Amino acid sequence: MFSLSAKLPIAPPVTVEKKERVYHPRTYSDFVKSIKNNELPRVVVKPNQNIALYDDDEGNYGDTQIVQTEQLWQTLMESDTNVMVDMSQPTSLLDYLSTFFLISLAVFLFRGIFSGQGAQNGGMGNPFLKNKEFKAEEDIETRFKDVEGIDAAKDELEEIVDFLKKPERYFGSGARIPRGALLAGKPGTGKTLLARAIAGESNVPFIQCSAANFIEMFVGVGAKRVRDLFEVARENQPCIVFIDEIDAVGKQRGAGGMPSNDEREQTINQLLTEMDGFDNETGIVVIAATNRIDILDDALLRPGRFDRKIQVGLPSVRGRKKILGVHARDKKLASNINLESIAKQTTGFSGAELANLLNECAIRAVRDGDGTITTDIVENVYQRVVVGAKGDTKFSQRKKELVAYHEAGHAIVGAILPDYDTVRKVSIIPRGGAGGVTFFQPSEENAESAMYTKEYLISQITVALGGRAAEEIIYGKSRITTGASGDYAQVYTIAREMLTTYGFSKYKFDYRNMSSEASKLVDLEINSLVTHCYGESLGIIEGNREKLEELKDKLIEDEIVDGDWVYDLIGRDRCTSIDCEVSFD
């Protein structure tokens, strides 16, 4: 509050008469008139509220709403009235409620965060208290016989089992057991199951945690949780400590300076310290899992920490058959179910995906019948898992014909091109948002090695463009449809990867740091490659138009056509002439 007076430099305080004060409000016009007549010795103006409070000559008080104009202020200054200005903001019930709410919210949050029972009751708990989530699980029932399809990884880990069972054999010869093993592989390949099997075979406690649980908003909490974890491990040694998704804290250090990075670095430093603290007779083996071994810190990977790096890959066809056998033990299978056949058609499936496939089959079998899994159920579930659920859309005859031509184009081009995937099935039944789908069976060599030739990738682009090529040949350029939009997205992704990531471009440069000029060259080369492949598709479709029509008619009649029928249609002759071979220079 500051003071402004027409006669005195400092306004005296408003005095209160001993006689009873009477509230005497005035209208705005009466208020201005009283000022001019010097009838109000003291006035307090509140500009932020447009209110004036006053005392009159008789000791009464009042207030009035004012209009702040230059004329009003001039009148106040020229009068004998002592004027005071109060710049305070108005206080409303909403202000009180807002303040009360904020204080209550703060108290609630702090009680939730720092309550000792918070973690037990499902809240956050006090992150600085001893963490009780690390528990040693005993009597693990999982065994190596429950883990199929990854025999190479199992063989690598059998020494750890032998050490935990008979440590004196190794101590006596001066051998040091690996302190840690890193399991690297795609999600669903069985890394967690393998770690549990080691504990089960060794008959030792199993302590499992996720590395993501170490990271908190409070710096230092992650390091403390690591100490808590290994404290529990020392109390239960010999034991297995399994840290899942270790890349959450084990990324390469030194990048960035944000507090979250500081917290992560403290956590990984504490983990390294704990692993260095094992003496030769400590019966603690740390097993970690990741699907991003390329981003892990070098300090984690050096000898003395995670000595063993074990790649857990996708199972081969033989491995998939074994995995299917494990998960089929408790399921009712029809007499005509052939697990080897299912294994062959599920190229690229992980163990978890195979388990899910059979589980979905069992659910479908119970829903549709007596719980017996038949070949039809397996086929329907396979298509739903790979492509999506069957749609309810009913196509018109014209739309059905269009989809049939489109899918027939994919199938004809794929069946004729040399060294491409095998056509398994062609369908015009809507699934997963697609009007139809052509199923191809990848080769085991490609699926297991994940190494593809330039010729194969070019064939993949050519096959993807087969649907659009069939539309153009049958309906003309002006009547092609948007049905190939997904195909084109796939085509340009493959083409860009070929010319940048895989180095198939005629221009040699670092694709990660391309200049704008280099990017333009790549775009031109991509367009050239796609145009070339589309021309190949058009040529194959044009040269086999009668077969395209036959396959279209078969699809309209049956909706689903087996791949063997397609190969019978084309005479099972792969194109070997120089005109049909796809190449790109």
pLDDT of 2 reads: 33
The first and second tokens of residue 390, run together, are 């069957």
Q: pLDDT of 531-546, one tens digit each?
A: 999 999 999 999 999 9
| Rounded Cα–Cα distance for residues 49 and 222 (Å) | 53
- Angle of CA points 536, 539, 542, to nearest 5°: 150
Q: pLDDT of 341-382, one tens digit each?
A: 899 888 888 999 999 999 999 999 999 888 899 999 998 898
Strand 51-55 with 42-46, pairing: antiparallel
Q: Report the share of the chain in percent with pLDDT over 90.
A: 32
| Rounded Cα–Cα distance for residues 146 and 69 (Å) | 89
What's the chain's average pLDDT? 81
Position 517 pLDDT exceeds 70: yes
Average pLDDT for residues 18-34, to the nearest whole number?
A: 76
Which DSSP state fits 434? B
Q: pLDDT of 172-221, one tens digit each?
A: 777 777 778 899 988 989 999 999 999 999 899 999 988 887 776 555 67
Phi, psi of 116 (to 5 degrees): -65, -25
DSSP string, 8-19: -SSPPPPP--SS
- Angle of CA points 313, 317, 358, to nearest 5°: 90
Cβ atoms of 291 and 187 within 8 Å: the answer is yes
| Rounded Cα–Cα distance for residues 542 and 409 (Å) | 10
| pTM (predicted TM-score) | 0.66
pLDDT of 579 reads: 38
- Of residues 148, 156, 201, 407, which has the active-site annotation? 407
Name residue, tokens 């001993």: 18
| Rounded Cα–Cα distance for residues 490 and 468 (Å) | 13
Position 128 pLDDT exceeds 60: no
pLDDT of 281 reads: 58
pLDDT of 95 reads: 61
| Rounded Cα–Cα distance for residues 247 and 16 (Å) | 75
Q: Which residue has the higher pLDDT, 442 or 219?
A: 442
Of these ranges, 350-359, 433-442, 567-576, the one predicted with the greatest mean pLDDT is 350-359
Name residue, tokens 């005095």: 15
Cβ atoms of 177 and 184 within 8 Å: the answer is no
Confidence label for 256 from pLDDT (cuts 50, 70 and 90): very low
What domains can you pick out in the chain, each with its CATH number? 2-85 (3.30.720.210), 136-311 (3.40.50.300), 317-386 (1.10.8.60), 397-442+449-569 (1.20.58.760)
Cβ atoms of 292 and 249 within 8 Å: the answer is no
| Helix (H/G/I), strand (E/B), else coil: 426 | strand
Average pLDDT for residues 15-30, to the nearest whole number?
A: 68
Nearest one of 289, 115, 103, 106 to 191, comparing CA atoms: 289
Position 44 pLDDT exceeds 60: yes
| 560-562 sheet: strands from edge to edge | 437-441, 422-427, 560-562
Q: Which residues pair with 44 in a beta bridge?
A: 53, 84
CB count in 10 Å sphere of residue 566:
26
| Rounded Cα–Cα distance for residues 297 and 254 (Å) | 10
Residue 407 falls in the annotated catalytic set = yes
The first and second tokens of residue 85, run together, are 């200005």
Which DSSP state fits 467? H
Nearest one of 307, 267, 265 to 287, comparing CA atoms: 307
| Rounded Cα–Cα distance for residues 386 and 441 (Å) | 12
